[in-house]
Amino acid sequence: MSTLVQSLIALALVWVFAYRRARMSTILTSLLLLLLLMTFYGGVAWLPWLLLLLVGFFYIAKNLRLQWMTLPLYQFFQSVLPPMNRTEMEALEAGDIWWEAELFQGDPDWNELLSYPKPELSEEEQSFIDNETETLCEMLDDWQIVQHDKDMSPDAWQYMKDAGFLGMIIPREYGGLGFSAIAHSSIVTKLASKSSSAAVTAMVPNSLGPAELLLKYGTEEQRQRYLPGLAKGSEIPCFGLTSPEAGSDAGAIIDSGIVCTGNHEGKECLGLSLTWNKRYITLAPVATVLGLAFKMYDPDHLLGDDTELGITVALIPTNHPGVVHGNRHNPMGMAFMNGPTQGADVFIPLDWIIGGVDYAGKGWQMLVDCLSEGRAISLPALSTAIAKVCYRLSGAYSRVRTQFNMPIGNFEGIEEALSRIAGYAYQLEASRVMTAGAVDLHIKPSVVSAIAKYHMTENARRVIQDAMDVHGGRGLILGRANYLAYAYMSVPIAITVEGANILTRNLIIFGQGAIRCHPFIFREMQAAKDSDTEAGLQEFDSLIFRHAGYCFSNFVRTLSLSLSGALVARAPVSDVTAKHYRQMTRMSSSLALVSDISMMLLGGALKRKERLSARLGDVLSNLYLGSAVLKYYRDNGSKSEDLPYVDWNIQLAMYNCQIALNEFFENLPNRPIAWLLKLVVFPFGSRYRLPDDSLEHRMVQTMFSDNPLRDRISQHMYIGSDDSDPSFIMEDAFKQLLASKATRDAIRTAIKEGKIAASEDLTVLAKAAVKMSLCSKADADAYLAAETARNRAIQVDDFPPDKF
């Protein structure tokens, strides 16, 4: 047997084991046995033996490996490691990794994804949505709230408090509802489908704020002091983080707390002299308790040796002397309470620090931990609510509204916009459920919540833009009949808060995701920063060569998947969606390879190459969104009517991954490496395509009939029971038109055939149809009622001059 043949057989063995991510010891042992066998039957092949002995020697000879290989790599890694301040490091360490790590590492275990329990509401939670949430929605008149009162009615405020909406996350032992994350998300979704101002009012106390901070870090005394009041609404919370100097860069806050002695309730005690100037604080104008983030200093060393203790959070009653609040901002004309708060040299005792003095300086890590959970629930719920309203009512409007003697939904231009609304609505609901489900699994999903926050708010913006285009003037004219305009106006708020989207995409998703999700990078960084150099070197040695094997495996897997069109990838199912799992695995492997190579090439400079890292973040994000769609499809019975939606979303996700990777290759500074990577990832060129017209046509048809899938996608959307609700007006007209379709078709056919004379008077047509026995008297009455409802549904508001 020739050396070439033996070398190829050995390479094939290594290739298979690398594809399967076998351990180095397994590969070396198997290769040794194979070479011994081939030598016995075919003679010695020096090349594979030489490579085996060389690799095996350094694998076994640890001391020589440390001196000759690991130490230079260790020193190089230390030199390229990007500098990180304390705030960045705390943000990096906060939260947990979850399914996104599987996607990032290139070989996702799809069975693990499908084994996660389906997030479901308890009987009590469902009852709360069907009753209390329904009641609150009935009390909300968004036109009155936003245009006139600039606030919810006193009755709505009181009901929100009494029913427990402000204490959904607070456990029962403190008087709260103790609801799950999926219940919290579903309640906010339903409220937001009626009034975004009311939804924000309910969601903020249950998101990043005093209640969550107290539950996780507060002393029992602090919990007993505040949580019962927060649960029942006798205490209204707000949290002050953003200031004029510090927006996305929260570490830049100049709000300060100086450790000193002072008087509190007539007694001298150790405390803090606080000075702050916060803005954009939701609920601040009406809050009774202020959570405050500030930098804590101890210049007189009253607590210890450190002068700068770091970001700290405290709870302050807003009636405390020196607290200034009450003024309001006007965020895009929306009516939820938002405004500034200030204080100058306000003295508070040290035990007002959340968690007590032991948590001084730990505020940023506390905030980031809580932010990851809140961001996984609130903004995804708001975004999904927008999509549900647009999906259900744009489809209805496209059947109700006629032009050129046919429903506007029959026009392909309208169909194109509707297909995006439909596809994104399905994706947003799938992502909402899966992301909230992670929180219910006791995951603090820092990277996933960033993905959800960015992409769900951006996709909601796309949906509302398309819905406005479909509705035309019907969506532009403000008034009680308009169910789109306030959602359109409020979307930029969601885009901006809890980490502006530009920051989230360019710095957080990949910047945090790459380090946290990579199996070795974060531990290598910790080893490189170890003050004990010897221990750090030993740990680095145990990691770096496994990292090299991981990188080689990614190369093998990516090339194999690319050349085979992902046919060699495993899928957890055997149905028509199996191809989607395989393609997702291919892009996951490509991401793992490209990420690893780019981090090795650019080192710390990748942190500053924001547009490059953002594109890799886009790949990770689209893989997550695609995963959510596949999981949602399986959790809901793998129904055939869902398949166009699933196909549309996975095709779009793969196309977006392709665009992001190609743009990455085009802009990678090292051109030879960029060319090689593109050749490995896309050896046959860019083969992914956007969904075609026929697929989008099939998907949109679901919007034009009353069916279970339409109901499921728009689940938890509020629709009233009478003409006081604009959603009811459109939905009622839609259903009446569907019910009277046979009569309408019969009349039109008779007119075309000359059996009935054409007339603008529908009553004349209906009487003629009855006379000719084309329909019954009841059918004719239903036809006329439907046409009246249609006319009502397309109307817009107008106002007398004195209203302006």
Catalytic sites, residue numbers: 498
Residue 362 three-state SS: coil
Specify whether the backbone of 106 is left (phi greater than 0), alpha (psi in -120 to 50) or beta: left
Q: How far apart are CA 446 and CA 452, in angstroms?
A: 10
Picking from 188, 696, 643, 688, the residue whose alpha carbon sits closest to that of residue 422 is 696
Residue 621 three-state SS: helix
Q: How far apart are CA 481 and CA 719, in angstroms?
A: 13
What b/e readout covers 421-431, taking b as 16+ CB neighbours within 10 angstroms? Answer: bbbbbbbbbbb
Asked if 539 and 545 touch (Cβ cutoff 8 Å), the reply is: no
Q: How far apart are CA 446 and CA 372, in angstroms?
A: 5
Scanning the structure block, which residue is given the tokens 């306030």? 486
Q: How far apart are CA 754 and CA 777, in angstroms?
A: 21
Structure tokens that stand for 150 in this block: 């600039």
Q: Residue 752 CB: number of other CB atoms within 10 A? A: 10
Q: How far apart are CA 546 and CA 524, in angstroms?
A: 11
Q: Residue 771 CB: number of other CB atoms within 10 A? A: 10
- Burial of 698 from C-beta contacts in 10 A (0-12 / 13-18 / 19+): middle
Structure tokens that stand for 328 in this block: 């309001």
Q: How far apart are CA 726 and CA 190, in angstroms?
A: 15
Which three-class secondary structure string do you get for 274-298?
EEEEEEEEECHHHCCEEEEEEEEEC
Length of the chain: 804
- Burial of 804 from C-beta contacts in 10 A (0-12 / 13-18 / 19+): exposed
